[in-house]
Amino acid sequence: MILVALGANMPSPVHGSPRATLEAALKALNRSGLKVVARSAWYETAPVPISDQPWFVNGVVAVETALGPAPVLERLHRIEEAFGRVRDIVNGPRVLDLDLLAHGDIVSDGWPSGDWPVLPHPRLHERAFVLQPLADVAPEWRHPVDGRDIREMLAGIGPEQTTRRLP
Protein backbone atom coordinates (compact mmCIF):
# COMPACT_ATOMS: atom_id res chain seq x y z
CA MET A 1 0.00 0.00 0.00
CA ILE A 2 1.33 3.42 -1.00
CA LEU A 3 0.17 6.15 1.38
CA VAL A 4 0.25 9.89 0.70
CA ALA A 5 -0.64 12.71 3.10
CA LEU A 6 -2.23 15.90 1.76
CA GLY A 7 -2.39 19.25 3.51
CA ALA A 8 -3.00 22.93 2.84
CA ASN A 9 -3.63 26.06 4.89
CA MET A 10 -3.38 28.85 2.34
CA PRO A 11 -5.90 29.58 -0.40
CA SER A 12 -4.84 28.93 -3.96
CA PRO A 13 -5.39 31.69 -6.51
CA VAL A 14 -6.51 28.99 -8.96
CA HIS A 15 -8.38 26.46 -6.81
CA GLY A 16 -9.68 28.57 -3.91
CA SER A 17 -9.90 27.37 -0.32
CA PRO A 18 -7.48 24.81 1.11
CA ARG A 19 -10.19 22.15 0.96
CA ALA A 20 -10.96 22.93 -2.69
CA THR A 21 -7.23 22.84 -3.43
CA LEU A 22 -6.96 19.38 -1.88
CA GLU A 23 -9.91 18.14 -3.93
CA ALA A 24 -8.12 19.42 -7.05
CA ALA A 25 -4.92 17.72 -5.88
CA LEU A 26 -6.76 14.38 -5.76
CA LYS A 27 -7.57 14.79 -9.45
CA ALA A 28 -3.96 15.77 -10.17
CA LEU A 29 -2.72 12.60 -8.44
CA ASN A 30 -4.92 10.47 -10.71
CA ARG A 31 -3.82 12.38 -13.82
CA SER A 32 -0.17 11.83 -12.86
CA GLY A 33 -0.58 8.04 -12.81
CA LEU A 34 -1.03 7.72 -9.05
CA LYS A 35 -4.47 6.10 -8.91
CA VAL A 36 -6.32 7.07 -5.74
CA VAL A 37 -7.96 3.88 -4.42
CA ALA A 38 -8.96 5.04 -0.92
CA ARG A 39 -9.22 8.39 0.81
CA SER A 40 -9.85 9.71 4.27
CA ALA A 41 -12.23 12.36 5.42
CA TRP A 42 -10.79 15.87 5.56
CA TYR A 43 -9.60 17.08 8.96
CA GLU A 44 -9.07 20.58 10.26
CA THR A 45 -5.83 20.55 12.20
CA ALA A 46 -3.68 22.88 14.25
CA PRO A 47 -0.28 23.76 12.78
CA VAL A 48 2.70 21.75 14.04
CA PRO A 49 4.64 23.21 15.69
CA ILE A 50 2.03 25.51 17.24
CA SER A 51 2.09 28.93 15.58
CA ASP A 52 -0.22 31.76 14.60
CA GLN A 53 -0.55 30.58 11.00
CA PRO A 54 -3.97 29.39 9.77
CA TRP A 55 -5.14 25.90 10.60
CA PHE A 56 -4.65 23.20 7.98
CA VAL A 57 -6.99 20.90 6.13
CA ASN A 58 -5.39 17.44 6.00
CA GLY A 59 -6.16 14.01 4.64
CA VAL A 60 -4.53 10.76 3.54
CA VAL A 61 -4.97 8.68 0.40
CA ALA A 62 -3.87 5.24 -0.70
CA VAL A 63 -2.64 5.15 -4.28
CA GLU A 64 -1.74 2.41 -6.73
CA THR A 65 1.12 2.63 -9.21
CA ALA A 66 3.92 0.46 -10.53
CA LEU A 67 6.38 3.28 -9.76
CA GLY A 68 9.01 2.95 -7.06
CA PRO A 69 9.38 5.39 -4.14
CA ALA A 70 11.69 7.94 -5.82
CA PRO A 71 9.50 8.45 -8.93
CA VAL A 72 6.38 8.67 -6.73
CA LEU A 73 8.01 11.38 -4.61
CA GLU A 74 9.13 13.19 -7.75
CA ARG A 75 5.54 13.24 -9.05
CA LEU A 76 4.28 14.55 -5.70
CA HIS A 77 6.82 17.39 -5.83
CA ARG A 78 5.84 18.24 -9.42
CA ILE A 79 2.17 18.44 -8.42
CA GLU A 80 3.06 20.71 -5.47
CA GLU A 81 5.04 22.99 -7.80
CA ALA A 82 2.18 23.09 -10.33
CA PHE A 83 -0.13 24.22 -7.51
CA GLY A 84 2.27 27.00 -6.52
CA ARG A 85 4.08 25.43 -3.59
CA VAL A 86 7.18 27.37 -2.59
CA ARG A 87 9.57 25.72 -0.14
CA ASP A 88 10.97 28.73 1.65
CA ILE A 89 9.98 28.38 5.34
CA VAL A 90 10.26 25.07 7.19
CA ASN A 91 6.84 24.19 8.68
CA GLY A 92 5.47 27.38 7.14
CA PRO A 93 2.10 28.00 5.54
CA ARG A 94 1.52 26.35 2.19
CA VAL A 95 -0.89 26.11 -0.68
CA LEU A 96 -0.29 22.34 -0.96
CA ASP A 97 1.80 19.75 0.83
CA LEU A 98 2.05 16.16 -0.42
CA ASP A 99 4.09 13.73 1.65
CA LEU A 100 4.95 10.13 0.78
CA LEU A 101 4.19 8.35 4.05
CA ALA A 102 4.85 4.75 3.08
CA HIS A 103 5.50 2.66 -0.01
CA GLY A 104 4.50 -0.87 0.94
CA ASP A 105 6.75 -2.21 3.67
CA ILE A 106 9.87 -0.49 2.32
CA VAL A 107 12.12 0.88 5.04
CA SER A 108 14.75 3.28 3.74
CA ASP A 109 17.06 5.89 5.25
CA GLY A 110 17.79 7.28 1.78
CA TRP A 111 20.71 4.90 1.22
CA PRO A 112 22.63 4.07 -0.92
CA SER A 113 22.82 7.27 -2.92
CA GLY A 114 20.47 9.58 -1.07
CA ASP A 115 18.05 9.72 -3.99
CA TRP A 116 15.48 7.46 -2.32
CA PRO A 117 13.04 9.03 0.11
CA VAL A 118 13.24 8.19 3.79
CA LEU A 119 10.51 5.61 4.40
CA PRO A 120 8.30 5.44 6.23
CA HIS A 121 8.03 9.21 6.58
CA PRO A 122 10.35 10.03 9.49
CA ARG A 123 7.83 12.07 11.51
CA LEU A 124 4.48 10.45 10.71
CA HIS A 125 4.32 8.78 14.14
CA GLU A 126 4.53 12.23 15.81
CA ARG A 127 1.70 13.89 13.88
CA ALA A 128 -1.99 13.60 14.70
CA PHE A 129 -2.78 15.40 11.43
CA VAL A 130 -1.34 12.36 9.61
CA LEU A 131 -2.39 9.55 11.93
CA GLN A 132 -6.05 10.54 12.31
CA PRO A 133 -6.80 10.47 8.56
CA LEU A 134 -4.48 7.49 8.10
CA ALA A 135 -6.79 5.58 10.45
CA ASP A 136 -9.65 6.21 7.99
CA VAL A 137 -7.71 4.76 5.04
CA ALA A 138 -5.72 1.95 6.65
CA PRO A 139 -6.94 1.32 10.22
CA GLU A 140 -4.83 -1.82 10.59
CA TRP A 141 -1.60 -0.21 9.31
CA ARG A 142 1.44 -0.77 11.50
CA HIS A 143 4.66 1.19 11.47
CA PRO A 144 7.10 -1.13 9.68
CA VAL A 145 10.02 -0.16 11.94
CA ASP A 146 8.59 -0.21 15.48
CA GLY A 147 5.45 -2.30 14.87
CA ARG A 148 3.05 0.11 16.60
CA ASP A 149 -0.45 0.48 15.24
CA ILE A 150 -2.16 3.81 14.65
CA ARG A 151 -3.98 3.83 18.00
CA GLU A 152 -0.72 3.29 19.86
CA MET A 153 0.98 6.10 17.94
CA LEU A 154 -1.95 8.48 18.51
CA ALA A 155 -1.85 7.72 22.25
CA GLY A 156 1.68 9.14 22.37
CA ILE A 157 0.67 12.52 20.95
CA GLY A 158 -0.16 15.46 23.20
CA PRO A 159 -3.50 17.30 23.26
CA GLU A 160 -2.00 20.38 21.58
CA GLN A 161 -2.30 18.57 18.23
CA THR A 162 -5.98 19.18 17.72
CA THR A 163 -7.79 17.46 14.85
CA ARG A 164 -11.45 17.89 13.90
CA ARG A 165 -13.16 15.83 11.24
CA LEU A 166 -14.83 18.09 8.70
CA PRO A 167 -18.37 17.34 7.47
The residues annotated with a catalytic role in the active site are 85, 94, 97, 99
Nearest alpha carbon to residue 19 among 50, 3, 37, 42: 42
CA contacts within 13 A on the Cβ side of 99: 23
The SS3 assignment for 97 reads: strand
Rounded Cα–Cα distance for residues 90 and 85 (Å): 12
CB-based burial label for 58 (10 Å; 0-12, 13-18, 19+): buried
